[in-house]
Amino acid sequence: MKKRALYILGLITLLVFPIPTFLVMWFFEDTTILELLQLENITYLKVGLGIEVGIFYAFIALLMMNAPVFDKLPVRVETMVKDMNLSVLDCIFLSICASVGEEFLFRSGVQFYLGPLITSVLFVAVHGYLNPFNWRMSIYGLIILPFILLISYGFEEFGLWFAISAHFSYDLVLFLSMSTKFNK
């Protein structure tokens, strides 16, 4: 995938994914964008905790992804990331886009109506990690599911910025560790 296309997809995730949440919550729940932003929840403690949780779980996921069961996956995530030839700035940009866009959509929007459990399963499934036609990929989905549940319940307790920071740091560690430039 070319960098330009990658950046366009990142920007779509960052800027377009939150729109349904903003519209639905504004029209049906009388919630403003400022309320959804939860600016009062941007604290060192909550963001720091999110970063720690994301980094910790990323290392667990990386260890588990090296299990022999994943050797026969037709397309491995590590290979796709290596093929992207990401720089540090690319990794940071994509991590910001995914964490902000997806957490607004899933945590602030979908989770409001479906709750943490169903939203977490839906999140993992939408990413293609719960695949009834590929049991190995589904095992990977089951590895990620506890982390997504942690983010979902953490959102309930600590707010949006905990979820965003956990998602960001998780993605960043994975991108950096899988990227060709850093994995030599």
The one-digit pLDDT tens for each residue of the chain (184 residues) are 688 999 999 999 999 999 999 999 999 999 999 999 999 989 999 999 999 999 999 999 999 888 888 877 766 677 777 778 889 999 999 999 999 999 999 999 999 999 999 999 999 999 988 988 888 889 989 999 999 999 999 999 999 999 999 999 999 999 999 886 555 5
- Note the pLDDT of residue 183: 56
Residue 40 burial class via C-beta count within 10 angstroms: exposed 0-12, middle 13-18, buried 19 and up? exposed
The DSSP symbol for 121 reads H
- Note the pLDDT of residue 150: 98
pLDDT digits (tens, 9 = 90+) for 161-184: 999 999 999 999 999 998 865 555
Q: Is 159 left (phi over 0), alpha (psi -120 to 50) or beta?
A: left
Q: State the amino acid at position 78 in one-letter form.
A: E
Q: Within a 13 Å sphere around the CA of 70, how many CA atoms are in the beta-carbon half?
A: 20
Q: How far apart are CA 178 and CA 151, in angstroms?
A: 22
3-state class of 38 per DSSP?
coil
Q: Are 33 and 22 in contact (CB under 8 A)?
A: yes
Tokens of 172: 């960043």
Q: How far apart are CA 16 and CA 181, in angstroms?
A: 30
Q: How far apart are CA 35 and CA 25, in angstroms?
A: 10
3-state secondary structure 77-104: HHHHHHHHCCCHHHHHHHHHHHHHHHHH
- Note the pLDDT of residue 181: 56
- Note the pLDDT of residue 76: 65
